[in-house]
Structure formats: C-alpha cells, structure tokens
Amino acid sequence: MRLHLCVVGRLRAGPERVLLDDYLRRFDRTGRPLGLGPVSVHEVEDRKGGGMEAEAVLLARALPEGAFTVAMDERGRGLTSPDFAALVARVRDGGRQDMTFLIGGADGLAPVLRERADLVLSFGPMVWPHMLARVMLAEQLYRAASILAGAPYHRV
C-alpha cells in the first residue's frame, strides 16, 4: 500500500528535513517487506494568500483516488502507537492501494477536508507546528512498521 503525506508548505533544509528524511528511509526499509510504501510527500503552497480554503483545494487535488484519508488535527481522535499500527495494517489488509495523511498549514485544515476524511487523528490536544507534525507523523509511520514487523524499536 502506498502512503502519501499531503502537506501545506515546503520543508526547507534544516533539522526537520533531516529528521523527516531519516524516518521515511527507516519506514521504507521496514515497511516494504510488509507491503507498505513507498511514502510520497506532496507539498502544496497557496501563493495567492487564499487561506485554509485555498490550501484545501490544493490538498484535495493531491489526494489519490480512493485513498483512505487521515486528516491530522488537534480536534481528532488520539491513538496509541500499537493502535495506529493496527489501523495501518487494517487499511492495507482491506485492499486499499493508498493511504493519505493531510497536514494543514499554520492555520490548520479547512473544515471541508476534516469532514471528507475517513479519520481525523490527533497527536494530542496541544497544537504542534505543521512542519514538526510531518516529522512526528513520519516517526509514527516508522514505529507502526516496526511494530508490525515485530522489531524491538517500540517498547511498552
């Protein structure tokens, strides 16, 4: 199953880029034997200043047809890492070809995207910088693959 990170903004060189690339490489190595991957990152930017609604249009265009869609939002549901791993496995085993994660810009995701998503997921009630949320999601994807592979990365 292919995974897609559809995100607002361009992640430039820096510590977040290094961490993101590292976790995505780890995920690729661990996930491929499990039928997971690759992960594609689709970055969109609204250069006209249209806000969340304009970003929503750009994000919607990046969504693969038929993908299981997860909107990352602080108002969403919280999952433990093992539960997140189980979700990824259920989506894969359910025959979906694609799983997409949406991360909005500094103002978050437009309501239309949250309503359209199959799941609204949260990293907790705190608000995180959208660039850091990418890294956190990539780490959780790697952790999920490690859990599914029975690797010792995740400790309870």
Q: What is the DSSP string of 41-99?
A: EEEE--TT--HHHHHHHHHHHHSPTT-EEEEEEEEEEE--HHHHHHHHHHHHHTT-SEE
**DSSP letter for each residue of 102-133:** EE-BTTB--HHHHHHSSEEEES-SS---HHHH
- Region 31-49 average pLDDT: 91
Domain spans, the chain: 2-149
- Region 51-75 average pLDDT: 93
Q: Which CATH entry fits the domain spanning 2-149: 3.40.1280.10, 3.40.50.720, 3.30.300.30, 3.30.70.260?
A: 3.40.1280.10
Window from 21-30, 41-50, 108-117, 135-144 with minimum mean pLDDT:
41-50
Residues 116-150 have pLDDT tens digits of 999 999 999 888 888 899 999 999 999 999 999 99
- Region 35-64 average pLDDT: 90
71: pLDDT strictly greater than 90: yes
49: pLDDT strictly greater than 80: no
This prediction has a pTM of 0.94
Window from 46-60, 110-124, 139-153 with minimum mean pLDDT:
46-60
Window from 46-50, 72-76, 114-118 with minimum mean pLDDT:
46-50
What are the CA-CA distances from residue 133 to residues 18, 20, 144 (Å)?
14, 10, 16
Percent of the residues in the chain that have a pLDDT greater than 90, as a whole number: 79
User: What is residue 52's predicted lDDT score, i.e. its pLDDT?
Assistant: 87
